[in-house]
A and B are shown apart, each in its own frame.
Chain A
Amino acid sequence: GAGVSQTPSNKVTEKGKYVELRCDPISGHTALYWYRQSLGQGPEFLIYFQGTGAADDSGLPNDRFFAVRPEGSVSTLKIQRTERGDSAVYLCASSGTGDTQYFGPGTRLTVL
């Protein structure tokens, strides 16, 4: 079946702009995770959804970052007033009844 998909694959924006990154999880997966991967680092947790609600948003770096999952499927990560330090690959993962997380291809965000 189809895996996790993320759009866009690449996003270039200017400092101060607003961006939205989309994640389509594997159909039927109730848990959805957002991670951020900076150059030379492993993925770092941002936020985790169980169904429609954010079960844990402790990884969001500040209040410029926000994520929603209104119908318990697709999720959107929103970044306001982007800064150069937000440049990274943003990864989405989903999991079903087991613990295995399946990752999307990521969105590479570049803030100029």
Chain B
Amino acid sequence: AQRVTQPEKLLSVFKGAPVELKCNYSYSGSPELFWYVQYSRQRLQLLLRHISRESIKGFTADLNKGETSFHLKKPFAQEEDSAMYYCALLLSHTPLVFGKGTRLSVIA
């Protein structure tokens, strides 16, 4: 079965410091990977997906098939980045498989 692992439940960084939220997946094929974010009292929303190769709010994520990873990175954390971040895997038109999430706390 497909699996997504986010090893850190909580990550605290100082404002301006680099951020890396880890995500590893288990799937032998070519999955599509996503990062979803949930800000306080808001709904889950898409942050970015690997096929679009874009940077959203300064975040980027590179799919590394050799290491089966899709880590989320940002060079300089901002206070407004504090949120729950979920990595998710998708096979074509199937339900998303989510990791357990990482809470990012950016300290001023």
Residues of A within 8 A of B (CB): 3, 31, 33, 35, 40-45, 48, 50, 56, 59, 91, 93, 95, 99-106
Residue in chain A with minimal CB distance to B96: A101
Please give me the 3 A-B residue pairs with the lowest Cβ-Cβ distance, nearest first.
Answer: A42-B98, A45-B95, A103-B44
Which one, B55-63, B65-73, B74-82, B86-94, is touching chain A? B86-94
User: 8 extra interchain contacts, Cβ-Cβ under 8 A, other than A40-B100, A101-B96?
Assistant: A42-B88, A42-B99, A42-B100, A43-B98, A44-B98, A100-B49, A103-B36, A103-B43
- Could you tell me the distance in whole angstroms from the C-beta of B19 to the nearest C-beta in chain A? 19
Which chain B residues border A95 with CB–CB below 8 Å? 93
Number of B interface residues at 8 Å Cβ cutoff, please give it.
Answer: 23
Residue in chain B with minimal CB distance to A91: B44
- A43/B96 contact (C-beta < 8 A), A99-B32, A99-B90 known: yes
- A33/B95 contact (C-beta < 8 A), A100-B49, A103-B44, A105-B43 known: yes
How far, in angstroms, from A102 to B49 measured CA to CA in the complex?
A: 13
Scan residues 12-55 of chain B and give those whose CB is less than 8 A from a CB of chain A. Answer: 32, 36, 43-46, 49
A42 touches B95 (CB 8 A): no
Centre residue among A93, A99, A106 by max chain B CB count within 10 A:
A99
B94 touches A56 (CB 8 A): yes
B90 touches A42 (CB 8 A): no
Q: Return the contact of A103 from the options B45, B90, B93 (Cβ within 8 A).
A: B45
Residue in chain A with minimal CB distance to B95: A45
A50 touches B100 (CB 8 A): no
